[in-house]
Chains A and B, each alone.
Chain A
Amino acid sequence: MNTFFQTLIVGLRLGSIYALVALGYTMVYGIIRLINFAHGDFIMVGGYTMIFVIPVVLRLGLPAWAAVLAAIVVCALVGMGTELVAYRPVRKKGTNMTALITAIAMSLFLENLAQAIPAIGPNPKVASQIFKAGGIHIGTVTMEYTTIITLVISAVVMIVLFTFTQKTRLGRAMRCVSEDKAAATLMGINVNSTILLTFGIGSGLAAVAALMYMAQYPKVYTTMGALLGLKAFVSAVLGGIGIIPGAVLGGIVIGLVESFTTAYISSSMADTFVFLILIIVLILKPAGIMGKNIGEKV
């Protein structure tokens, strides 16, 4: 029974991270139908920003997690910069496919750029302790506070984002853009600035995800976003890409599958099962767990 609880907690810990990252993917996809493969690398940007800012923050007598504020600003700027420099010109001239390739190029560009910056370099860096160690004991296993905080943050972000897109004017503008860009322009919505805002929010979320990732897995390296981004993308697709609660559900499912495979089937098969589950779900329900099958728009 202890093993079961331990496995559950590890699954939730991994899943809460995937959920938080998947929210960023789903947010951008929901608005401009672009799978932003560079999202995982925005997390790397956030991670390195915190590596450099945490010592400053600690010297000012603030808690280490306050560094996330700087990371949010940097990530949002990098995200909006990417949209302005790379995605927008490509979107004007090319098709969805060119935009997708640009996103992959952007991801590799950011990874290699980070390596080339002397202060970052190729060596992995290890973060200092971010939240106080400790947790709630269930029998002999411990549910760490960090895991609980990550889950709470994921839930709060999910609710805030959902409310924002459903209830506010800006959110409504975003939904309009996602449905029909031309009609949105006719209704007086500034499409470009709406998309820019979407990137700002999505990338800011990457900084929050980076904080929670580092609090549990304190190693930061230039390619950290690659596999993490891929698994989060799988989570978003599994939950139904573009659907905000779906991203959280998908993330937690992937985390649990990974953990239970490790504990009960084979520890070296975890990734195999994650992607196997994805294929099965997509065969049974192509739009994802929470997705609705909508016919092609004419």
Chain B
Amino acid sequence: MKTSRFFSILLVLCMVFCIAAAGGSAFAADDQIIIGLISPNTGALAAYGTGIVTGADLAVEEINAAGGILGRQVQLIKTDDQSDPTECLNAFNSLVAKGVGLIIGSATSGCTSAITDAANEEEVCILSPTATADSITTEDDFIFRACYADSFQGAIAAAYAKQAGFDKVGVVYCAADVYSKGLFDSFSKACAEYGIELAAEQSSASLDVQDYTNQFTAMVNAGVEFVYAPYYYDVIGPYVVPQARAAGYSGIIMGADGYDTTPDYVVAGADLTAFNDVYWTNHYDPSDTSEKVSSFVQAYEAKYGSIPSAFGATGYDCVYMYKQAIEAAGSEDSVAVRDALADRSAVYECVTGTFSLDESGTPLKGAAIISFQSDGSTVTSKLVDVVTQLP
């Protein structure tokens, strides 16, 4: 009795595997170009994942409607890294196991840095929409990105401080986060170059810290009127800005692309005038009137009913960069595409700017400086300036 039950279970398992195997082969026979996508679709930074996925979906839809790449349809395989580096590597491995050679991802530098070595080893192309840490891309590798690097982003903030006439600034950053620490490093380096004094320097132990009052009290005591605070939106909206104002700090708070989508994460009913005098650098500005940007924003709004964040824009750009590289290479073979992406003469006309890639695989392009404005009950963004070159 027992043995026959064991065999029947075994038989059922065999059947299940047969079906699964059949499904797998049918999938591979399809003549589609597969692009893998790794993004934080759940977890603390899910807003980034949502942006990238919606942007990439829109691009794939447009490309397929226009006849695909090299006459073949494009399919995205989406995976989730929960903004956790370990999960990111798992997602990468699962894509490689499916035979995917072209990957878009991931959103944060922390996650992307977890897969760069594996990608070079497996000869799989990685094109990150928004991993800005300098260390992500190096020469002669399979890693590229659609965004500028932090050394540029941090330096722009320093240049802005200089231009606005501040010769004494402070910094509050997270010592345990690659992105925040990287921006702090590039900002402080640029400050030294521009002759700006770094009068106060405070940090937080993790991104889970809820109280920044003491850090900003130190800023007030140091008498600075410009503080660089490279954090993400979920810390800036509910914690950093209101607490800084409550601690008596009334000067400028400046950040980077992590501030994108902050207006969706502010406390309703609180005094939102705290968000005046908050500036940040971003990859693009949705109110830009150029043909490329406005047609993208219109198409995105028609499909999703909202204004695309910079993550939507760079996710969209990544798909088109792959399209151009695949067409230049004549196939979707990952080594051929890598060589096409490494060609420094290729010019990409994207939503986030027209650019070519430098020797490491990072775009040479400008940044938008954006400020928040508030009448007390809502927070809106306003373009201040577009910087293409450092002074």
The answer to whether A and B interact is: yes
Instruction: Pick the interface stretch among B135-143, B231-239, B286-294, B322-330.
Output: B231-239
Bitwise interface map of B from 326 to 345 toward A, beta carbon under 8 Å scored 1, else 0: 00000000000000000000
Of B43, B203, B270, the contact of A133 (CB 8 Å cutoff): B270
Would A262 and B214 count as touching, CB distance under 8 A? Answer: yes
Instruction: Pick the interface stretch among B215-223, B302-310, B380-388.
Output: B215-223
Could you tell me the distance between the alpha carbons of A128 and B266 in the complex, rounded to whole angstroms? 8
Within 8 Å CB of A7, what residues of B? 214, 217
Within 8 Å CB of B356, what residues of A? none
Among A243-298, those with CB < 8 Å from B are: 259, 262-263, 266-272
Would A268 and B267 count as touching, CB distance under 8 A? Answer: no
| With contact pairs A129-B270, A217-B238, A219-B239 given, residues A6 and B217 touching in the complex (Cβ less than 8 Å) | yes
> A interface vs B, CB < 8 Å?
2-3, 6-7, 10, 13-14, 64, 115, 121-124, 126-129, 133, 140-142, 144, 217-219, 221, 223, 227, 259, 262-263, 266-272
Would B267 and A6 count as touching, CB distance under 8 A? Answer: no
| With contact pairs A123-B47, A267-B215 given, residues A218 and B267 touching in the complex (Cβ less than 8 Å) | yes
| With contact pairs A121-B46, A129-B270 given, residues A218 and B205 touching in the complex (Cβ less than 8 Å) | no
Chain A interface, >50% SS class: mixed
> B interface vs A, CB < 8 Å?
41-44, 46-47, 82, 175-176, 202-206, 208-211, 213-215, 217-218, 221, 234, 237-239, 246-248, 265-271
Given contact pairs A126-B237, A128-B270, A219-B234, enumerate 17 new A-B contacts (beta carbons under 8 Å). Answer: A6-B213, A14-B211, A64-B269, A122-B42, A122-B43, A124-B265, A126-B265, A127-B267, A133-B270, A217-B239, A259-B211, A262-B214, A262-B215, A263-B214, A263-B218, A267-B204, A269-B205
| With contact pairs A123-B47, A267-B215 given, residues A217 and B269 touching in the complex (Cβ less than 8 Å) | no
Would B269 and A122 count as touching, CB distance under 8 A? Answer: no
Could you tell me the distance between the alpha carbons of A267 and B209 in the complex, rounded to whole angstroms? 11
Within 8 Å CB of B205, what residues of A? 267-272
Would A128 and B214 count as touching, CB distance under 8 A? Answer: no
CB-based nearest A residue for B266: A126
Would A6 and B46 count as touching, CB distance under 8 A? Answer: no
CB-based nearest B residue for A273: B205
Could you tell me the distance between the alpha carbons of A138 and B383 in the complex, rounded to whole angstroms? 39
Quote the shortest CB–CB distance from A255 to chain B (angstroms): 10
Of B42, B217, B238, the contact of A219 (CB 8 Å cutoff): B238
Could you tell me the distance between the alpha carbons of A288 and B3 in the complex, rounded to whole angstroms? 58
CB-based nearest B residue for A262: B214
CB-based nearest B residue for A122: B42
Within 8 Å CB of A140, what residues of B? 248
Within 8 Å CB of B82, what residues of A? 122
Could you tell me the distance between the alpha carbons of A3 and B42 in the complex, rounded to whole angstroms? 39
Quote the shortest CB–CB distance from A47 to chain B (angstroms): 12
Would B221 and A3 count as touching, CB distance under 8 A? Answer: yes
